[in-house]
Structure 1
Amino acid sequence: MSTVIHSPRQSSVSSPNSQSQDDQLPHLLSLKVMRLSRPQLTSTLPIYYESNTEKTSPLVDGLESLNISDLTASHPIDRNQCNEIQIRDFGLSQMLKLPSAFGNIYLGENFSTFISINNESPFAVQQVGVKIELQTSSQRFVLSDTTTTPLTALEPQKTYDITVAHEIKELGVHILVCSVHYNAPDGKRRHFRKFYKFQVSNPLAVKTKLNNLIDGRVFLEAQLQNVSAGPMFLERMKFEPSEHFVFEDLNQVVTNNNSVFGDSFIHPQDIRQYLYMLSPKDDQNDRISRTTNALGKLDIVWRSYMGDLGRLQTSQLTRKAPMLEDLEVQPFLQEPVRVILEHPFKLGIRVKNHSAENMKLVLTAIKTKMGSVLLSGLSSVQLGDVPANQSAETQLEFFPLTSGLQRVGGLRVMDLLSGYTKDIDHVCDIFVLSHPNDDIESII
């Protein structure tokens, strides 16, 4: 279906050496540009009627004589049978109508145009060529050019039609430039140009929130809002990580792999929040992934309520990369451990060298900063030589003095070669049970 685009301005262009009365003569050809778009369902106001044999009136008798019970709209809605509700119950008929306006054009959609050249003169014109261009704020595209292979002759009252399409990839004002060239019956070469201006809007607003974890993982929350004038069906919402990350999509139900949102419809102004977990691709050499600000892109494909396809790929999602210290201390467990009051337990400690130099590390305890969880045994452990971007591991035994949620900390790592020292006041938190038969729920 098509909607006529009105031209805001028209200019006749001739040879610079022939500024004559010919410029003021009307052209033999006319040009119309129409936007091709899908039709819409016609809105109606259905009349619901229920036959009543107990009470009669002139109105009821008249309706019965018209046999209105045969009409679809005469059947009342049964609110207890929602699965039988039809499209007419929403005020929409099965009839289609042509768009009454030019409509909105959004980024990522295909803009289709129908150009018609009509010979309104009583004479045939020769060598008819058309050049269609689309100009944006930064580029100019040639959508069609038949000036090199023109139509030999266009008879009176005949039309020369061209259809072009272009995927919209820029926001802002776009100008469709249509140039028509032809030979008049007197042999003169004439041409004119028309300009059609339209605005391209953004259908989606994307915002991001980030949470950087100490182990290099990043939780990325993408907030997607439908800022268009109509509802959308999200056909695909795909995250493409940068080369330094792998990711996990946290928007699927694990049991059946369906979306946590249920359906894929987003109404105007509605917001959805998508969550992705990014992890360094190389765990052994993750310095680049920890310091890069590039995270990835979102690739979104949607359809309008009449099935028009649109696609939008965001620019690179970035972050302010956290500062990476030369030494990093991470706790780990070989297997799950229940920590009991006044019972020693073992905790693994991993120390990673993020610097570009080799280190010789020693791990010591600062008992005055340990709180209710003390180090048991030796207060100093030699970690040995740790090359650049490598790590060393050891196991420490701790002794909890108080039940409940407690802090493990009070450690110091020193490089014997450079003298660099790092104090770790907080390694992790543990929950200490007061009795082996207790569980967390009974303690809290």
Structure 2
Amino acid sequence: MSHQRYPSIDPVKEPHAVSLKVLRLSRPSLVSQHSLLAPTSPIPAPLDRPSSTSSSSKPATIPASLAYQTTSDTNPDPFLLTPILNLPPSFGSAYVGETFSCTLCANHDALGDPPASGGGPGDNYSQQQQQHYQKKKSIRDVRIEAEMKTPGSGAVQQLSLTPTDMPPPSTTGAAHTSETAGGGGGSSGTQGVDLEPGQTLQKIVNFDLKDEGNHVLAVTVSYYEATETSGRTRTFRKLYQFICKGALIVRTKVGPLPAPSAMATDAQRASQDGSDGGVHSEKKRRKWVMEAQLENCSEDAMQLSRVLLELDPGVHYRDCNWEATGSPRPVLQPGEIQQCCFIVGEDEVGSAVEGKDGRIVFGVLGIGWRSEMGNKGYLTTGKLGTRVVR
């Protein structure tokens, strides 16, 4: 029989009076419902009217089958989707180009009345817990701090929390707190907040996702626990990990645009090129065709809002996509591809400067979209260009 050489020291850890709840706000969904009709008996037809013209009552919907019950007309027709937003139960998947948002709630958990000291065999409360209930504690100077660890940078980024505005001072001279939407508590920029039992300090984090890979959100809660005779500062920290994926796959291809044929007139060349120069200058101005394939690699549908080029000096472009033709914005289902086209040309003869490697840099491609629930996303590519073949 084995024995421990040294007895293990396991001190009793007193639970924190403040708890932390983190809930993701981005990428919500609509709550669905499957309504059921209540069985109704048909109304018998009157004797003086034929049965074919009798009117039957419309079956009523069983209230328990609806997503929620209300006396107003917010849900008059029991449709499959309701106007209630359902926040994600977990962090789930996040995508590059979107804004990750979550709420941080520090709750002062109210303890119940101290149990009666019966002393019987079924009493599960120890003497230490009895003393814990008897001591009156107050929670002061509650603070919330958040940091984000991204795969692209080795250092941890300190996040700014909202709201940060200080509320007006209290006229009664008492300890100042500002109630939040969570039902009590307060929020301030850098100063702590005193919380009464049942109150909440709520903050919101917004972070623009730019890198793929594992992200770690670290939340630190600190507060001062004061009793009638003493006090101490307590701190705890929680980590939340989620994976960031790519929402779009962008493939580009650049090729030279042949010069107009010799049969074209000067007016046709000016209308096609958007310039008023002569024939000699138009032949020397170089042009290229840039094609871009946008593939939706996310799990949800998206609507492309804009696709544009942010060019370097010396070149211009002409848009050949839905904005130029007045077509509706394309909607991409998961796995679908949208083809885009641009015509890039020089402002003047030789204005597109070649680098030492013989490559001409045009600029970057910016892509904006919205998800099914209206969440915005924006992505920019690296420097795009072409290599001059001599």
Deviations 1:104-144 (A, max 9, x none): 31111121111111122542212211111122121432224
Deviations 1:308-358 (A, max 9, x none): 111111121243x1234xxxxxxxxxxxxxxxxxxxxxxxxxxxxxxxxxx
Change (3 A) 1:213 1:143: same
Deviations 1:55-100 (A, max 9, x none): x9xxxxxxx86523999xxxxxxxxxxxxxxxx99x7434435145
Instruction: Specify the alignment match of 1:129 in structure 2.
Output: 143
The yes-or-no answer on 1:150 pairing with 2:192 is: yes
How many Å apart are 1:24 and its aligned residue?
3.5
Which of these two proteins has the greater Rg computed from alpha carbons? 1
Change (3 A) 1:148 1:272: closer
Distance 1:95 1:221 in 2: 40
Distance 1:119 1:266 in 2: 45
The yes-or-no answer on 1:37 pairing with 2:29 is: no
The yes-or-no answer on 1:160 pairing with 2:236 is: no
Distance 1:97 1:284 in 2: 56
Distance 1:209 1:295 in 2: 13
Q: Secondary structure at the match of 2:354?
A: helix
Question: Counterparts in 2 of 1:257-296, with a 5 A limit?
Answer: 257-259=325-327, 262-284=328-350, 286=352, 288=354, 291-296=358-363
| Residue-pair matches, total | 271
Runs (4 or more) in structure 1 with deviation over 6 Å come to 20-23
How many Å apart are 1:191 and its aligned residue?
0.7
Query: If the length of structure 2 is used for normalisation, what is the TM-score?
Result: 0.60
Question: Counterparts in 2 of 1:35-434, with a 5 A limit?
Answer: 35-37=24-26, 39-44=28-33, 67-68=58-59, 92-99=80-87, 101-102=89-90, 103-120=92-109, 122=111, 123-137=137-151, 138=153, 139-144=155-160, 148-151=190-193, 153-185=194-226, 186-213=230-257, 216-252=286-322, 257-259=325-327, 262-284=328-350, 286=352, 288=354, 291-319=358-386, 321-324=387-390
Change (3 A) 1:322 1:131: same
- Equivalent residues of 1:147, 1:181 under 8 A apart: no
Of residues 39-48 and 162-171 in structure 1, the stretch that sits farther from structure 2 once superposed is 39-48
Q: Which has the higher contact order (CA 8 A, sep 6+)?
A: 2
- Equivalent residues of 1:231, 1:268 under 8 A apart: yes
- Amino acid aligned to 2:293: Q
Distance 1:105 1:131 in 2: 22
Q: Secondary structure at the match of 2:237?
A: strand
How many Å apart are 1:288 and its aligned residue?
3.0
> As a proportion of its length, which structure holds more strand?
1
Instruction: For structure 2, list consecutive stretches of 5 or more residues without a partner in the other structure.
Output: 1-8, 46-54, 63-76, 112-136, 162-187, 259-283
Distance 2:107 2:352 in 1: 66
Distance 2:223 2:385 in 1: 53
Q: Secondary structure at the match of 1:207?
A: strand
Of all paired residues, the percent bearing the same amino acid is 30
Change (3 A) 1:161 1:97: closer
Q: Secondary structure at the match of 1:190?
A: strand
Query: If the length of structure 1 is used for normalisation, what is the TM-score?
Result: 0.54
- Amino acid aligned to 1:119: H
Give the aligned CA root-mean-square deviation in angstroms: 3.6
